[in-house]
């Protein structure tokens, strides 16, 4: 089970894995928002052309995609570090609030693109939109993660 009188440290170390797994979940949720947005914007027509043909929608898709790319790179780098036997606590803490902010952005933009269709129960975007706050708070709120990151940086 672990070393005697070291239970608290074991629990605290487990939080690092929980937060990293949450970052991966948020990455997946963001990707789903992007996929749903592209699918809907390709099918939905406004003013005699697909929604995706409108510049404002294309810009939303590009911004969502760039944030997802950044999340993906960050999560992969941290996983590589963990596999190399280091536990980058500051980086995990920063990734947690970065990914939750990126997920909130992607879910909000997906909801804007889908409009009323995104709000209907059973739509993946609706579910993800509701889950963003749970992901932002679970495992430590952004405020706690920022403070932990700075302390881990030795400041």
Which 3-state string (H, E, C) describes 21-60?
HHHHHHHHHHHHHHHHHHHHHHHCEECCEEHHHCHHHHHH
Where residue 1 falls among pLDDT bands split at 50, 70, 90? low
- The answer to whether 41 touches 58, Cβ cutoff 8 Å, is no
Q: Report pLDDT digits (tens) over 103-147.
A: 999 999 999 999 988 888 889 999 999 999 999 999 989 899 999
6-54 pLDDT per residue, tens: 888 788 778 999 999 999 999 999 999 999 999 999 999 999 999 999 9
What is the residue whose two structure tokens read 């697909």? 50
Give 70-109 pLDDT, tens digit per residue. 999 999 999 999 999 989 999 999 999 999 999 999 999 9
**Which CATH code fits 12-152?**
1.20.140.10
Residue 89 CB neighbour total at 10 angstroms: 18
Partnered with residue 49 across adjacent β-strands are: 46
Running DSSP on this structure, what letter comes out for residue 140? S
Residue 55 C-alpha from the chain's centroid: 25
């Amino acid at each position: 089970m672990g070393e005697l009188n070291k239970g608290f440290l074991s629990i605290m170390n487990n939080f690092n894995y929980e937060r990293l797994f949450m970052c991966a979940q948020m990455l997946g949720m963001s990707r789903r928002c992007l996929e749903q947005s592209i699918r809907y914007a390709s099918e939905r027509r406004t003013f005699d052309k697909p929604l995706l043909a409108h510049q404002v929608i294309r810009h939303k898709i590009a911004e969502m995609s760039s944030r997802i790319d950044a999340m993906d790179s960050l999560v992969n780098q941290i996983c590589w570090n963990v596999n190399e036997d280091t536990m980058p606590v500051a980086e995990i803490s920063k990734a947690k609030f970065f990914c939750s902010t990126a997920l909130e952005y992607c879910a909000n933009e997906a909801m804007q693109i889908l409009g009323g269709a995104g709000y209907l129960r059973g739509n993946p975007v609706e579910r993800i939109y509701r889950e963003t706050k749970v992901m932002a708070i679970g495992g430590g709120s952004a405020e706690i993660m920022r403070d932990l990151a700075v302390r881990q940086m030795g400041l």
